[in-house]
Amino acid sequence: MAKLIVSDVDVQDKKVLMRADFNVPVKNNEITNDNRIVAALPTIKYIIEHHGKLILLSHLGRVKSDADKKELTLKPVAERLSELLNQDVKFVSVNEGSELESAIAAMNDGDVILMENTRFQDIDNDFGKRESKNDPKLGEYWASLGDVFVNDAFGTAHRSHASNVGIASAMKAAGKPVAAGFLMEKEIKFLGNAVENPVHPFVTILGGAKVSDKIAVIDNLIPKSDHILIGGGMAYTFLAAQGHKIGTSLFEEDRVPMAKELLEKAGDKIVLPVDHVVASEFSNDANHEVTDGVDIPDNMMALDIGPKTIKLFEETLKGAKTVVWNGPMGAFEMSNFANGTLQVGKALGELDGATTIVGGGDSTAAVQQLGIADQLTHISTGGGASLEYLEGKELPGIASISDK
């Protein structure tokens, strides 16, 4: 069922509540990466240009105590957003009460307000985690502040929180529209189509440390994918399941039986590394070398895929029409073991006529480092949300948006 989009709704002279994902890295009240703010701009600008009164909500970080408040205030986000929009964004240092209500009452069409971190509600009261436990009274309160709700925060779509599902439920109960923003629309379109209706050949690339993080993704995508390329630490659990020597490489011993089951189910669809960059310890300064084949010496650990594997993965990708990539091929954070991840990113950027979708922090960092982000179809803003979407799960943040 197609979802209602912000462009389907009349926002003129309306108070538009928008859940954004401004969960950006902040150090000493300075934003070190504003990608998520930039990603929300199309929806924000649309509402401003169509004369809505925009009231923004977002969380930032993990708020566990009052001591976290100083570092996790959204004030720096309001300042950065003001610069990006070239207009004043009023920051309200609370997210409930008369100060917020007065600020909203004084708004003119095209004005923008950003209220304080929604997660402060998890510590600012006597009722427990009101935001992250989806307290219905909090959702109802926030919903009462607006005429329209726009959810553009795919990064929290896998969570049922007061600031997404709670507001949506209360808005619907009051007969008010609940729409997806343009960023959420893109995530539904590209990730959803990749999972439900991919153009073949469809290749999935999975990396990262743990098989346990991706079991459900692999299981869901085996019948849909033509090939599943596996790198990173999770590859060594699969290689162990095949009886190969993996030295001191990271692996999950308790997941070996599951890896065997997935290998049997997938047949020849799963493609594993055939050589590795190995080192004596987990350090960028450690002596490292490339193995001749699959087996790894007893005193060495694999920290990246080797040149033969890179070539194998590149060959497998040729002719692909849909590619989804989530997770690095090695210890990408260390320069001596970043090549595999970078080469996979480069191969994606060179594919002709393919829908290429990238998700996950290190995968995204790789394509940005290569400068090929604009050569890819879509870079997902949701880590956990994109994984759960690839697992085929219904995400509560998406389910709560009105159908057209």
Tell me which residue of 385, 338, 386 sits closest to 366, measured CA to CA. 338
80 is catalytic: no
Q: Of these residues, 69, 172, 210, 311, which one is catalytic?
A: 210
Distance CA(239)–CA(251), nearest Å, equals 9
Q: Of these residues, 172, 384, 392, 393, which one is catalytic?
A: 384
Q: At what angle do helices 234-241 and 256-266 cross, to 10 degrees?
A: 80
Distance CA(94)–CA(75), nearest Å, equals 11
Beta-bridge mates of residue 246: 296
What burial class does residue 75 get, using C-beta atoms within 10 Å of its C-beta: 0-12 exposed, 13-18 middle, 19+ buried?
middle
Residue that is written with structure tokens 């004596």 in the block: 280
Distance CA(28)–CA(31), nearest Å, equals 8
36 is catalytic: yes
Q: What is the per-residue burial (b if ≥16 Cβ within 10 Å, else e) of 329-346?
A: bbbbebebbbbbbbbbbb
Handedness of CA 90, 400, 141, 72 (dihedral sign): negative
Pairing of strands 270-271, 30-31: unpaired
361 is catalytic: yes
Cβ–Cβ < 8 Å for 197, 207: no
243 is catalytic: no
Tell me which residue of 149, 150, 163, 167 sits closest to 121, measured CA to CA. 163
Distance CA(390)–CA(360), nearest Å, equals 12
- For residue 205, give both structure tokens: 């690339």
Contacts of 82 (CB under 8 A, 6+ apart): 88, 89
Main-chain phi, psi angles of 290, to 5 degrees: -105, 135
Distance CA(16)–CA(179), nearest Å, equals 10
Q: SS3 for 162-213, per residue?
A: HHHHHHHHHHHHCCCCEEECHHHHHHHHHHHHHHHCCCCCEEEEECCCCCCC
Q: Of these residues, 14, 19, 36, 130, which one is catalytic?
A: 36
- Catalytic residue ranges: 36, 210, 361, 384
